[in-house]
Structure 1
Amino acid sequence: MKRYGIISLLSLLVMTACQDYLDIVPDNVATIDNAFTNRNEAEKFLFTCYSYLPQESYVYENPALLGGDELWTYWPITGLSRLPSLPQQIARGNQGIVDPYLNYWDGWQAGKPLFRALRDCNIFLEKVDQVVDLDPFMKDRWVAEVTFLKAYYHFYLMRMYGPIPIVDKNIPISASKEEVRVFRRPVDEVTDYIISLIDAAAPQLPDIIQNRASELGHITKPIALAIKARILVTMASPLYNGNRDYASLTNKDGTKLFAEQESDAKWTRALQACEEAIAACDVANIKLFKFNSNLVDINERLRQEMDLRNSIAEPWNEEVIWGFTNGTGSGIQWQAMPRLNPAYSSNETTTGQLAPTLKIVENFYTRRGLPINQDRTWDYNGRYDLKTADIEEQDYLQQGYTTVALHMQREPRFYASLAFDGSLWYMQNGTWTVQAKAGQAQSRKSAFGYSITGYFPKKLVNWKFVIQAGQAISVEQYPWPVIRLADLYLLHAEAANEVHGSTDVAFEYLDRVRERAGIPKLREAWSQYARNPEFIQTKEGLREIIHQERMNELAFEGHRFWDLRRWKEASEEMNKPVYGWDIDQELAGNYYRRKLLYSQRFTAPRDYLWPISEYSMVVNPNLVQNPGW
């Protein structure tokens, strides 16, 4: 939505005061009514409703990028580094209730005020009928878009805080003090409300965007149904489905906010939503991305890498279901890519300071499509041994270069997602070598602007990114994929396994993702190469593999953070130490020693949900705090 910046003044006019409560109509009715006098003014207010969307590609706003265990940075973070410290405070277990980090409830500490967003959505829905020159078809579409946004903002808050108040209607300025002091509602009730909004909106939304020059980024039917599938899979997951850890969380009137009994029906409902969303994507011709290799002369292995990298970074490619256009583009690419060209080693535009952790590196499969500890053809115990790359690895590694066995014979997603000492980085303007030991081109040069682990998230960088002389750059911006088809396929596999177990229904879309990733289908891989071929024949075993498949396919896209929480696996994974290589060493034997960077702390059940700020608790005594805070 390129016009977001234009409407910032209007946003300020309609978002006045009243921050003490969630959804009070501000006492500036004349200003609001003026916003609906004609189509142009109403469209500005529509853009205001969009403007609250959290910027998923922005490391300052999205806790899922630097607030978990997937990407790490050096510490302490200073202003010179152009990195935020708030997400890393969450990753380090330092969240608190006085001034919570990334507070989307109140809109503090880099969090957008999503309850204010809900208030503005309600204003739009209440006032849009006043617009006299708005075509009825377009009015219905805009109403559907804002109705979806209203659902999404509720979901975003619920994913962070659990039970939340439902903001169905705005409370008038004349409301009494008790009317303003709203209660949190049970998560199942909030979920049903959210889904009812999406179900009302979806039929009025277009299957595809016809006017791509001006309307890309508007909500479509596939977006609405794909997000519905994500919501229902989330709410069927252990954190929300019969979580006894929250059995004691009740309102002051005794209303239980979490159901204590697990419901299989939630998984059935989620599976149906996934099927409905996939059908909508088929109608819209959304499909897994394949790189057009006719554009360049590359071999099959490199084309496979471009299939994977460009499913993220190719603007508006056919796999993107919802591309987020506000605040995307070059920022995260600068943070992800090191100074590749030695001719411009002093250029500070790129820093490569978003550093994948060694844990994530080890999570990727072998070339057989198996976890590294399950592949009987791969030397798991010798993974840290020094080894020299040979001609067999020529498309991925520098021949004759000494690295570790961990970097060899891995799946294509490993090389498409990561760069590291001894790797190759293909770009439109050439293939660059990455050499990151002390004194080499991509090593640490100063107190900031380097990878603390020795790894770089290659997949986040568009292949047309070019560093030129001085500070000049040529960067291909792309809309951040809030959800893409591979994500939806894996949500389907997860729900299908929970409903039907290890059957063909669970394997169908999972194998489509694996096929595009260049690895064998699941049954083939496990039957031919696994140490324990029977592992995937049970629901529990297949569940574990589907979880790992999501980690590998969606690495660095901001999903692991939320997935670990909804699966209730964060208390295990985020209490493991964070490791990287000893990056300040010159010799391979010294460089390739695991170095402890931080011992993470995750307290369960407290850290699964955000705290509500003390301020909000004082303003509204009817609110109850999340457990442990």
Structure 2
Amino acid sequence: MKRSIAKIYLIGAVVSLAFTSGCVKNLLDQKATVELPYAQFWKTEADATMALMGAYADTRYVFDRDYMMEGHGEYTRVRGMAAPTNLVTGDAYQGNSGIYDPTNYADKWDKMYRYLYGGVNRCNYVIDNVNVMIAAANETSKPSLERIAGEAKLLRGLCYFKLISMWGDVPYISKTVNDNSEVAKIPRTPIGQVKDSILADLNYAFEKLPNKSTEIGRMAKPAALALRGKVQLYWASWNNFGWPELAGFVPNAATATAAYTAAADDFRKVINDYGLVLFRNGEPGEIDALGKAEKLPNYFYLFMPVANGDGENLLYFTHGGTGTGQGEELMRNLGTRTVESSQLWVHPRYEIADRYQLTTTGDFAPPLKPMPPTGAGRTTLNSAVNPQSYADRDYRMKASLIWDMEMSIGLTSLKSTGFFPFVYKSNSAPIVIDGVNYVTSFPDGVNSGYIFRKFVRNYPGLGRSEGNYAWPVIRLADVYLMYAEATNFATGPQADAIALVNKVRYRGKLPPLAASKTADKATFFSAIEQERIIELIGEGQRGFDIRRWRAIERIWGAPAGPGVWRLDTHGGQITRYYQNTPERTYQQNYIFRIPPGERDRNPNLTQNTPWL
């Protein structure tokens, strides 16, 4: 028998509570006795906190692998059937062929839809029960309980924000679902109403959360403000650029300006009111010579556990590490076989390399020339296979990418096996570099000539799926760039916004933007987009930026056009995207398909227009 979406909501609630507390399970199938465990459980602040941790665990699952969604952009390839699984349930929310391509992906996220609603219901479960406790609480215990409710509302708002970002209008459910009949006929709620409900949740969260959390993994006021600002920024984008694929949505220029202004106000408070600074004060740090990797820039360490709890990471999800069943799989998905037999599901595309600017000029280098490594390939000026072509680049390049002859640490059985050079199309082969014998790394699956260094651990002790890095959903650098975007669209380039973009650039050892890059809205927007591409590469942001800016045509060309080839460093044509692609496919890529199975079970759940 098919399960309705309501039942899936409840599974999310039940699984996470059982996982975190060990005292409640199989609630979905119980009858009269179901109330007794609940009544026994919801007695103390510790009970409420434990249930909140279950909500964090549930919602983490649909955010901490957003690097997979980076494949919807033009600079990251996610290959094959890379399908991370829920470490609690063992079920995958992804796994369809083509789900991470730059096109033809928006009908393949049915499981994400369901698990986001699982997170919503888990949050509703916490909110409903904590509200009962608050009503009976004394003035001493009430603030702590309100904080718990505020965190649950923040997480609920985060789930709904992702839902509207992908599907537009979605059913809004604000209370715990106990029976399928409660939601079997609920229609989609207009996106504006859902947005207002999200903002209401975040208003409450901002009011009740502390200025700073003393516990790693629990959110504070800056997280609520940053998310509230991001919701307003997306609302402004949809009203500014339009969303014609969402039936009934009418963009409004005045609404866009007001939302940009509101977003900027929230971002400004995050930036100014809480003493927050970029990781390691935004300093570039040290960088090793080309072909060496003993000294890596600070940007690399921002994505290692040493940054857990750092003030730059505003909204994030923690992982348990070894033996917890809650480890992150960044190394498994981005590392090579040389790194604990990792599988390299995710790697940079060739085209990203030209986006890294020069520290000497602050502008783009001459385009790299894809060439085979034979003949003059290794020595030709600007050749993509000449290691010297990468000299004097933005420090974030060495921290993020590995190209030919760059070194990385090998790891086997939780021990270091020393440095391995990467050479495209060379797998575990002997090589001599500067008179030293090495064996090349084993990066099976790469087809661009580059692999990621970002996110891949360079120290031993943890298995490929046992990472304990706290995955950031919103970082302070992102807030800087979103503030610049919001103020630019509202009133044009502003001095404080330009200064913040320059702070982000500085950690790459880049000089400030030239005056020509901030002369007007269009040029400054291009500079902001450039920084978002480099600063946030691999973090799952690019696809959402492309859609909210309606930039698919700008990147890939108009419908029915020749498309765009993706290349490799040797000059090979790897894949051509958007060749002869009809306009309808473009429309479908701007908005996701409401899962047909949910529509089968709910006669009032309408479909998005491009999918009819």
User: So what's the TM-score if we normalise by structure 2?
Assistant: 0.77
Shift of 1:419: 0.3
Change (3 A) 1:73 1:166: closer
| Residues 587-628 of structure 1 deviation map (CA, whole Å, 9 limit, x = unaligned) | xxxx71233235356922222222111222233333221120
Match of 1:120 in 2: 125
Shift of 1:454: 2.5
Q: CA RMSD in A?
A: 4.2
Whether 1:424 and 2:424 are equivalent positions in the alignment is no
Match of 2:164 in 1: 158
Task: For 2:455, give the aligned amino acid.
Answer: L
Match of 2:572 in 1: 594
Match of 2:146 in 1: 140
Whether 1:462 and 2:461 are equivalent positions in the alignment is no
| Aligned-partner Cα distance in 1 for 2:171–2:81 | 37
Match of 2:508 in 1: 517
Query: Identity across aligned pairs (percent)?
Result: 19
What SS class does the counterpart of residue 522 from structure 1 fall into? coil
Shift of 1:95: 4.1
What SS class does the counterpart of residue 222 from structure 2 fall into? helix
Matches within 5 A, 1:603-614: 603-614=585-596
| Aligned-partner Cα distance in 1 for 2:48–2:493 | 51
| Residues 43-95 of structure 1 deviation map (CA, whole Å, 9 limit, x = unaligned) | 33222222221436754x7652444443324547799xx99743743426444
| Aligned-partner Cα distance in 2 for 1:465–1:306 | 19
| Aligned-partner Cα distance in 1 for 2:68–2:337 | 26
Whether 1:503 and 2:508 are equivalent positions in the alignment is no
Match of 1:358 in 2: 350
Match of 2:601 in 1: 619
What SS class does the counterpart of residue 454 from structure 2 fall into? helix
Match of 2:424 in 1: 436
Match of 1:105 in 2: 113
Q: Which shifted more, 313-322 or 381-390? A: 381-390
| Aligned-partner Cα distance in 1 for 2:468–2:36 | 40
Task: For 2:572, give the aligned amino acid.
Answer: R
| Aligned-partner Cα distance in 2 for 1:297–1:506 | 28
Whether 1:52 and 2:28 are equivalent positions in the alignment is no
Change (3 A) 1:10 1:130: farther
Shift of 1:506: 2.8
Whether 1:453 and 2:448 are equivalent positions in the alignment is yes
Shift of 1:421: 1.4
Alignment coverage as a number of residue pairs: 553
Query: Is the Cα contact below 8 Å between 2:126 and 2:149 reproduced in 1?
Result: no
Change (3 A) 1:182 1:402: closer
Change (3 A) 1:236 1:406: farther
Whether 1:553 and 2:535 are equivalent positions in the alignment is yes
| Residues 273-316 of structure 1 deviation map (CA, whole Å, 9 limit, x = unaligned) | 1112212442xx4434359999x997899899421111222332
| Residues 243-289 of structure 1 deviation map (CA, whole Å, 9 limit, x = unaligned) | 15147x1xxxxxx344455631111111111112212442xx44343
Q: Which shifted more, 617-626 or 218-227? A: 617-626
Shift of 1:571: 4.3
Shift of 1:510: 0.5
Shift of 1:194: 1.3
Change (3 A) 1:243 1:91: same
Which residue, 334, 337, 342 being the options, matches 2:335? 337
Match of 1:414 in 2: 397
Q: Mind listing any 5+ residue stretches in structure 2 that lack a counterpart?
A: 1-15, 85-89, 321-325, 411-415, 430-438, 558-562
| Aligned-partner Cα distance in 1 for 2:245–2:342 | 44
Shift of 1:123: 2.8
Matches within 5 A, 1:177-216: 181-210=185-214, 215-216=215-216
Match of 2:266 in 1: 273
Query: Is the Cα contact below 8 Å between 1:388 and 1:402 reproduced in 2?
Result: yes
Shift of 1:579: 2.6
What SS class does the counterpart of residue 86 from structure 1 fall into? coil
Task: For 2:456, give the aligned amino acid.
Answer: V
Matches within 5 A, 1:297-312: 305-312=296-303
| Aligned-partner Cα distance in 2 for 1:303–1:511 | 27
Which residue, 356, 366, 379 being the options, matches 2:366? 379
| Aligned-partner Cα distance in 2 for 1:198–1:34 | 30
Which residue, 6, 16, 38 being the options, matches 1:32? 38
| Aligned-partner Cα distance in 1 for 2:586–2:24 | 39
Match of 1:530 in 2: none
What SS class does the counterpart of residue 586 from structure 2 fall into? coil
Which residue, 478, 482, 490 being the options, matches 1:491? 482
| Residues 451-473 of structure 1 deviation map (CA, whole Å, 9 limit, x = unaligned) | 23221111112343479xxxx78
Change (3 A) 1:86 1:47: same
Shift of 1:383: 6.5
Q: Which shifted more, 507-516 or 134-143? A: 134-143
| Aligned-partner Cα distance in 1 for 2:575–2:536 | 24
| Aligned-partner Cα distance in 1 for 2:75–2:100 | 13
| Residues 307-341 of structure 1 deviation map (CA, whole Å, 9 limit, x = unaligned) | 1111222332342222311477552123323355x
Q: Mind listing any 5+ residue stretches in structure 1 that lack a counterpart?
A: 19-24, 250-255, 341-346, 373-377, 528-533, 582-590
| Aligned-partner Cα distance in 2 for 1:516–1:380 | 23
Match of 2:8 in 1: none
What SS class does the counterpart of residue 574 from structure 2 fall into? strand
Change (3 A) 1:540 1:47: same
Task: For 2:393, give the aligned amino acid.
Answer: R
Shift of 1:522: 0.4
| Residues 147-198 of structure 1 deviation map (CA, whole Å, 9 limit, x = unaligned) | 22222222121112112233234577697x7x86333233233222211221
Query: Is the Cα contact below 8 Å between 1:429 and 1:464 reproduced in 2?
Result: no
| Residues 97-118 of structure 1 deviation map (CA, whole Å, 9 limit, x = unaligned) | 5xx43533323xxx66344335
Q: Which shifted more, 258-267 or 408-417? A: 258-267
What SS class does the counterpart of residue 206 from structure 2 fall into? helix
Task: For 2:459, give the aligned amino acid.
Answer: K
What SS class does the counterpart of residue 386 from structure 2 fall into? strand
What SS class does the counterpart of residue 207 from structure 1 fall into? coil
| Aligned-partner Cα distance in 2 for 1:367–1:383 | 22
Query: Is the Cα contact below 8 Å between 1:58 and 1:332 reproduced in 2?
Result: no
Shift of 1:361: 2.4
Query: Is the Cα contact below 8 Å between 1:144 and 1:200 reproduced in 2?
Result: yes
Task: For 2:367, give the aligned amino acid.
Answer: Y
Task: For 1:156, give the aligned amino acid.
Answer: K
Change (3 A) 1:402 1:13: closer
Shift of 1:145: 1.3
Q: Which shifted more, 130-139 or 407-416? A: 130-139
| Aligned-partner Cα distance in 2 for 1:204–1:231 | 19
User: So what's the TM-score if we normalise by structure 1?
Assistant: 0.75
| Aligned-partner Cα distance in 2 for 1:616–1:414 | 43
Query: Is the Cα contact below 8 Å between 1:145 and 1:205 reproduced in 2?
Result: yes
Task: For 1:72, give the aligned amino acid.
Answer: R
| Aligned-partner Cα distance in 1 for 2:32–2:576 | 46
Task: For 2:575, give the aligned amino acid.
Answer: L
Task: For 1:106, give the aligned amino acid.
Answer: R
| Aligned-partner Cα distance in 1 for 2:40–2:55 | 16
Task: For 1:418, give the aligned amino acid.
Answer: L
Shift of 1:511: 0.9
| Aligned-partner Cα distance in 2 for 1:144–1:510 | 31
